[in-house]
Amino acid sequence: MTQQTTSSPRANFKVYLGSTLFFIYILLSTPLFGLCIFTCLFFPFQVRYKIGQIWIRSLLYMLKLCCGLSYEVEGAENLPASAAVILSKHQSAWETIALRQVISPQTAVLKKSLLLIPFGGWALATLKPIAIDRQNQKEALKMLLEQGQARLEEGLSVLIFPEGTRVAPGAVKKFGAGGAMLAQKSGFPVVPLAHNAGEFWPRNSFLKYPGVIKVKIGPVISTTDKKSKEINAEAEQWINQAMQEIANQ
């Protein structure tokens, strides 16, 4: 099953130059901010989180300055005042960065191996991630449910990419049930989120193309008296429809 796709952006000298400058900034800023966050390990979580947010803002600023890539959000008013399970489309590395700015405070479900990356991974390990081993699905689900509920009760929204991996624009991958199970078990609501970041920052690509990424945040999905399959189906349907709307714009 596929959705309508847009034409591929064209690379030119400006795109290569901007992408290179942004990459250099990542290389320079990661040790600086990473060490700063890690050395604040014994400070309150809020201190480390605030430093992380400053880093995210700087990355998004440099992304716009170097690559001409920004974003706009539709439906921010749908975000609940308290924590929620965020089920998001996954197309790019962009959303792993920018959604921390769009939805805050939050933590995310991620691969355990990412925490081993020097500086950036070490810092991330101090920010209460839900780090799972994808090779052991049974243990990963157990960790997601236990740690996810703990994070939600602490007031942190939990960002989950139910497709499990980055999916190219126009493609659709069946949603995993872990996020919906967490919502059903914990009683916290689900917020579906769609975006087209992959059209401007393609998966596994060095190049970032100028433009405006569209982010659509859907209405809260109540988990009261619903099975996880119902919750998952409702979120998947909304996200797929929102992706089609974005493609048609």
CATH classification of the domain holding 152: 3.40.1130
Examine residue 1 and state whether it is found in any structural domain, yes or no: no
pLDDT at 82: 94
Examine residue 25 and state whether it is found in any structural domain, yes or no: yes
CB 237 within 8 Å of CB 95 = no
Mean local confidence (pLDDT), 37-65: 97
Number of domains in the chain: 1
Examine residue 8 and state whether it is found in any structural domain, yes or no: no
Examine residue 134 and state whether it is found in any structural domain, yes or no: yes
Examine residue 7 and state whether it is found in any structural domain, yes or no: no
Examine residue 5 and state whether it is found in any structural domain, yes or no: no
pLDDT digits (tens, 9 = 90+) for 61-120: 999 999 999 999 999 999 999 999 999 999 999 999 999 999 999 999 999 999 999 999
Degrees to nearest 5, angle at CA 53 with 114 and 96: 40
Confidence of residue 8 (pLDDT cuts 50, 70, 90): low
H-assigned helices in the chain: 13-38, 45-67, 94-102, 120-125, 137-153, 178-186, 228-248
pLDDT digits (tens, 9 = 90+) for 10-45: 789 999 999 999 999 999 999 999 999 999 999 999
**SS3 breakdown of the chain: % helix, strand, coil, rounded to 5?**
50, 15, 35
Confidence of residue 1 (pLDDT cuts 50, 70, 90): very low
Q: What domain range is 163 assigned to?
A: 13-248
pLDDT at 11: 87
Indicate the Cα dihedral angle 71, 74, 78, 79, nearest 10°: 0
Examine residue 6 and state whether it is found in any structural domain, yes or no: no
